[in-house]
């Protein structure tokens, strides 16, 4: 696979995930990032989703303890 195809395979899911997490469209020029940066951005988005899920779960558990 070539680098352009590798980047496209990273960029498309990143855009979908950004839209899903925020329900907004960001005009970030992801194609100018290198593959390492795109993978780090993808990892950041996963970490944000994990934190969000943990926070929701903790809030739900706290409501049951009261």
- Gap between the Cα atoms of 61 and 16, Å rounded: 30
For residue 45, give the 3-state DSSP assignment: helix
Predicted pLDDT at 62:
85
The helix or strand, by DSSP H or E, that contains position 36, with its residue range, turns out to be helix 35-65
| pTM, to two decimals | 0.81
Predicted pLDDT at 54:
95
Under the banding of pLDDT at 50, 70 and 90, the label for residue 66 is low
pLDDT tens profile 27-46: 999 999 999 999 999 999 99
Under the banding of pLDDT at 50, 70 and 90, the label for residue 4 is confident
């Amino acid at each position: 696979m070539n680098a352009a195809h590798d980047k496209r395979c990273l960029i498309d899911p990143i855009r979908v995930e950004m839209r899903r997490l925020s329900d907004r469209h960001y005009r970030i020029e992801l194609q100018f990032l290198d593959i390492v940066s795109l993978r780090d951005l993808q990892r950041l988005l996963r970490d944000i989703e994990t934190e969000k899920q943990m926070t929701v779960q903790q809030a739900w558990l706290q409501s049951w303890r009261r």
